């Protein structure tokens, strides 16, 4: 799964967990206090701006009683729906099959994908604005250096965008 998809899935799952937690909902401040981070950090996760560090994902998993991979690799809302339909002691393979089937037939899957693309576009725009703002203070020599760095980064596979 791509990093962007993991960020989106994590953000979606965290929103779902916070709304359903203890049937009353959980505020950003309550969650932040519980795992030892700032409220703005939780807000950035919910916006899909960043993915938490692995150690923080592990804290969140413990807090919600899940496995860390469930937070970033699974659609928890669909899994809960399947579990409610199947009752007690469901077969794990049957759960997986039904979740995959629901994902195929999910009328919101296209909308979710568009939301993820929109958020990615927003991040690119914010990044571009930051670059333009920083470049305003540079002379021509500095601007050429920035362009050179950008070309170097674009050739490095660690920084290339997945297609």
How many CB atoms sit inside 10 A of residue 126's CB?
Answer: 11
For the chain, 163 residues long, the average pLDDT of each consecutive 10-residue run is 80 82 74 92 92 92 84 72 59 65 60 65 75 83 85 80 69
Q: What span, in angstroms and rounded, lies between the C-alpha atoms of 129 and 66?
A: 38
The CA-based dihedral angle spanning residues 77, 54, 7, 66, taken in that order and rounded to the nearest 10 degrees: 0
Its pTM stands at: 0.51
Residues 6 or more apart from 105 whose CB is under 8 A from it? none
Collapsing DSSP to helix, strand or coil, 139 comes out as coil
């Amino acid at each position: 799964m791509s990093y962007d998809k993991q960020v989106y899935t994590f953000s979606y799952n965290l929103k779902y967990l916070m709304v359903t937690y203890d049937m009353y909902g959980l505020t950003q401040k309550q969650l932040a206090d519980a795992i030892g981070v700032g409220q703005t950090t939780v807000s950035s996760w919910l916006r899909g701006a960043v993915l938490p560090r692995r150690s923080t994902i592990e804290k969140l998993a413990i807090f919600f009683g899940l496995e860390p991979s469930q937070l970033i690799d699974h659609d928890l809302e669909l899994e809960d729906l399947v579990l409610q339909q199947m009752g007690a002691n469901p077969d794990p393979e049957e759960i997986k099959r039904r979740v995959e089937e629901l994902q195929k037939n999910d009328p919101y899957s296209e909308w979710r994908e568009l939301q993820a693309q929109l958020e990615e576009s927003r991040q690119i725009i914010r990044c571009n604005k930051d670059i333009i703002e920083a470049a305003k203070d540079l002379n021509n020599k500095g601007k050429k250096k920035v362009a050179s760095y950008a070309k170097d980064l674009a050739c490095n596979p660690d920084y290339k965008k997945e297609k």
